[in-house]
A = this chain, B = another copy of it.
C-alpha cells in the first residue's frame, strides 16, 4: 500500500478523533453537563473544531490528496481506499474555503446559544434568544461569502446537509408534496370517520415508558454493549464509534407518543451509524451519507415500522401489560388509529405523518426569507405564527410552542430542516424496494422480528457510510438516483384513506 495513503489515513483518523471527541462533548452537554460548565465547554468545542479544521485543511493534506491521484485511479471506484481519497478531496476543497477563525466563531456561538436557547425555551422568551440568532445569521452570511455565487444563497447552506441538492430541486419536490397533501389533509378533516386518540393521554410513568421502549429498541438492534439511551430536552442521536451509539429521548408522563416514537426515530438514526462498516472506523466515511438519507432511516423505523399494524400485532399485548389501565381493555385497532391520527398540531417532532411536512415547508420558507434578508429576525415569531395559522390552521400560544421549539437554529443549523421531509420521501422510496424483496415483512414484524429488515438496510445502505454521493447511494439502494415523491404520496393516501374511510 502507498505510504502516502497511510499518511493520509493517519491524518484523517486524527481529524476524525477530534471530531468524535467534539461529538461526545456535545452529547454530554445536551444530556448531563452541569449548567455552569457551559462557558468552558463552548471554548473546548471551539478549540476542537478549530484544530480539526486546521489539521484537515493543512497544506500537507492537500499535497497528499494531490499526490494520491494516480493511486486512486489505479483502484476500484468502490474500494474503501479510492472512496476515502475521493470523498476526502471533495471535503477538503469545501473546507479550504472557510477560515479556521470563522469555524471557531460558529462553533463557540453554537455552544453558547444552545445554553441560552434551553433557558429561553423554558421561559418562552424569544427576546433572550434573538441576539444569538442574529449573530448566527451574520456568521452564516460570512460563511456564504466563502463560496462561489450560487443560484440561491440558500443552496450553500443546503449543501452542508444534503450535498448536491439545490433550493430549486427541493422547492419542486415540496410543491408537489404540498399539492397532494393539502387535499388529503382537508379530506381527512372533513371525513365523518373520526379518530379518538384519548388513549395516548393518561399517566405513563417514565420508568415504564423507558422499559417498554427499550424492549422495542432491543428487537430493532439496540444492545447494551454498544448503545446508550438517555433522556434530554431535544432528542438526538450521536455516534462516537460504530460500537458507541447514543440515542436520547424525552418522556412526558401524561403523553405516550413523544418518548415511544421518539425512541424508535432516534434508533433508526442509530442503526444507520451502527451499521457502517467497521473498516471505515476513524475515517470521514464513517457516518451516514446525508441528512436526507439519515432521516429516511429514522422515519422508516418510526413510521413505516413503528406505526404499522403488523408491528403492533406483536407489541400491543406487551404495551397493554406495561400500561394495563390505559390499554388493558382497549382493542388494538383503536390504538392503531390513535397513533396514526391526522391532526394539525404545534410541535414538529410530535406531528403526524401527513401534517409533519407542512411544519418543514414552513421552516424551509422562513429560512430562505431570513437568509435572503426578506424577513427581520425580530419579526420571526409573528411570521412563524401567521404561517402556522395559514398552513395548519392553528394558533400558536407562545414561542416555546412555536419558533423556539427546535434546537437547530441555536446550533446555527440553517438549511437543515428540508432534509426531514426529503427523508420522509426517500423512506418510502426505499420501503417499496424492501417490500418487493422481503415479501413476508409483515409476518416477521408480527412475530417481533426485525433482523431481516435491519440486515437488508445494513447491506444496501448502512455499511457504505459516506463512500458514495447521496445520489449514488440512493441509486444503490433503490435502483434510481433521483428522489421521487410519488411513492410517498401513494403511501400516505393509501394509509389515511384506509383509516379515515376516504
Checking B21, B35, B38 against A48 with a beta-carbon cut-off of 8 angstroms, the contacting residue is B21
Within the assembled complex, what's the spacing in Å between the Cα atoms of A40 and B19? 13
Q: How far is the CB of A50 from chain B (nearest CB, A)?
A: 8
The verdict on A25 contacting chain B, using a C-beta distance below 8 Å, is yes
A36 touches B225 (CB 8 A): yes
Interface residues of A (CB under 8 A from B): 13-14, 17-18, 20-22, 24-25, 28, 32-41, 43-44, 47-48, 50-51, 224-228, 240-245, 281-282
- By beta carbon, the residue of chain B nearest A51 is B51
A22 cross-chain contacts in B, Cβ below 8 A:
21
A40 touches B228 (CB 8 A): no
Within the assembled complex, what's the spacing in Å between the Cα atoms of A202 and B451? 45
A13 cross-chain contacts in B, Cβ below 8 A:
43, 47
A32 touches B228 (CB 8 A): yes
Q: How far is the CB of A109 from chain B (nearest CB, A)?
A: 16
26 contacts between A and B (CB under 8 A): A14-B47, A14-B51, A17-B43, A17-B44, A17-B47, A17-B48, A18-B48, A18-B51, A21-B47, A21-B48, A24-B25, A24-B28, A33-B240, A33-B244, A34-B225, A34-B226, A34-B228, A34-B243, A37-B240, A38-B243, A40-B240, A40-B242, A40-B244, A40-B281, A41-B241, A43-B282
A17 cross-chain contacts in B, Cβ below 8 A:
43-44, 47-48
A240 cross-chain contacts in B, Cβ below 8 A:
33, 37, 40-41
Within the assembled complex, what's the spacing in Å between the Cα atoms of A34 and B43? 27
A40 cross-chain contacts in B, Cβ below 8 A:
20, 240-244, 281-282
Most chain B Cβ neighbours within 10 Å, of A44, A224, A226: A44
Checking B20, B41, B47, B242 against A44 with a beta-carbon cut-off of 8 angstroms, the contacting residue is B20
Within the assembled complex, what's the spacing in Å between the Cα atoms of A433 and B44? 38
Q: How far is the CB of A479 from chain B (nearest CB, A)?
A: 34
- By beta carbon, the residue of chain B nearest A48 is B21
Q: How far is the CB of A162 from chain B (nearest CB, A)?
A: 27
A243 touches B44 (CB 8 A): no
A245 cross-chain contacts in B, Cβ below 8 A:
34
Within the assembled complex, what's the spacing in Å between the Cα atoms of A25 and B281? 18
Within the assembled complex, what's the spacing in Å between the Cα atoms of A36 and B228? 11
Q: How far is the CB of A324 from chain B (nearest CB, A)?
A: 25
B243 touches A39 (CB 8 A): yes
Within the assembled complex, what's the spacing in Å between the Cα atoms of A93 and B244? 38
A226 cross-chain contacts in B, Cβ below 8 A:
34-37
A50 cross-chain contacts in B, Cβ below 8 A:
14
B282 touches A37 (CB 8 A): no
Q: Tell me whether A21 and B21 are in contact in the complex, defined as CB-CB below 8 angstroms, given that A226-B34, A244-B34 are known contacts.
A: yes
- By beta carbon, the residue of chain B nearest A44 is B17
Checking B38, B44, B224, B244 against A21 with a beta-carbon cut-off of 8 angstroms, the contacting residue is B44
- By beta carbon, the residue of chain B nearest A17 is B47
Within the assembled complex, what's the spacing in Å between the Cα atoms of A228 and B32? 8
Checking B18, B37, B43, B225 against A243 with a beta-carbon cut-off of 8 angstroms, the contacting residue is B37
Q: How far is the CB of A187 from chain B (nearest CB, A)?
A: 47
Known: A36-B225, A40-B282. 6 other contacts (CB 8 A): A21-B21, A21-B22, A34-B226, A34-B245, A37-B243, A38-B243
A36 touches B243 (CB 8 A): yes
- By beta carbon, the residue of chain B nearest A47 is B17
B34 touches A227 (CB 8 A): yes
A244 cross-chain contacts in B, Cβ below 8 A:
33-34, 36-37, 40-41
A243 cross-chain contacts in B, Cβ below 8 A:
34-40
- By beta carbon, the residue of chain B nearest A40 is B241
Within the assembled complex, what's the spacing in Å between the Cα atoms of A500 and B22? 55
A241 cross-chain contacts in B, Cβ below 8 A:
36-37, 39-41
Within the assembled complex, what's the spacing in Å between the Cα atoms of A33 and B43? 24
A35 cross-chain contacts in B, Cβ below 8 A:
225-226, 243
A242 cross-chain contacts in B, Cβ below 8 A:
40
Q: How far is the CB of A421 from chain B (nearest CB, A)?
A: 32
Within the assembled complex, what's the spacing in Å between the Cα atoms of A281 and B37? 11
- By beta carbon, the residue of chain B nearest A23 is B44
Which 5 pairs between the two chains have the least Cβ-Cβ distance?
A: A37-B244, A36-B243, A40-B241, A17-B47, A36-B226
Within the assembled complex, what's the spacing in Å between the Cα atoms of A13 and B38? 16
Q: How far is the CB of A225 from chain B (nearest CB, A)?
A: 5
